[in-house]
């Protein structure tokens, strides 16, 4: 499975897709990026005349790249016979250090901690273009692969 194929399996679409691309992926780590555009829906009210990306959106971006994309890659063998992976965030713990402003590109790096019984736990971090740490933490999720017959 190549990097662009991973994105096609994502269960998200605009305006709630926070993955522009996957830079690298292996059995132990994934790196991807996203640029927060100035017209994102959440900037309209957070904060008045001084937009900042909400922490929950940063967490979502980290989960989409560092958990869901990574989980899709790790489940690639199962996806050959099945389709429609469902990967849900089950827990997270994040520490935030720097704000993310409109038009800022971020990179998410996720390292596998545990992947067992379709449960994935990762150590994640988000960096800005200067290489500064924006936030870091742990995310976990569960995966369910539905057979094609179960979908219809």
Catalytic residue flag (residue 33)? no
Q: Considering 3, 11, 17, 46, which one is annotated as catalytic?
A: 46
DSSP string, the chain: --HHHHHHT-S--TTS---SEEEEE-SSEEEEEEEE-TT-GGGGGSSTTS----HHHHHHHHHIIIIIIHHHHHTHHHHHH-EEEEEEEEEEEEEE-S---TTEEEEEEEEEEEEETTEEEEEEEEEETTS-EEEEEEEEEEEEEE-HHHH-
Which residues are known to be catalytic?
46
């Amino acid at each position: 499975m190549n990097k662009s194929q991973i994105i096609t399996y994502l269960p998200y679409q605009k305006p709630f897709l926070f993955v522009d691309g996957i830079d690298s992926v292996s059995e132990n780590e994934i790196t991807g990026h996203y640029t927060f555009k100035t017209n994102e829906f959440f900037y309209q009210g957070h904060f008045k005349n001084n937009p900042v990306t909400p922490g929950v959106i940063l967490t979502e971006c980290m989960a989409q790249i560092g958990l869901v994309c990574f989980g899709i890659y790790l489940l690639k063998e199962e996806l050959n016979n099945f389709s429609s992976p469902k990967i849900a965030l089950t827990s997270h713990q994040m520490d935030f250090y720097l704000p993310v402003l409109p038009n800022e590109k971020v990179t998410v790096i996720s390292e596998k901690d545990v992947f067992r019984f379709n449960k994935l736990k990762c150590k994640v971090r988000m960096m800005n273009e200067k290489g500064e740490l924006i936030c870091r933490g742990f995310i976990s999720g569960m995966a369910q692969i539905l057979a094609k017959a179960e979908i219809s």
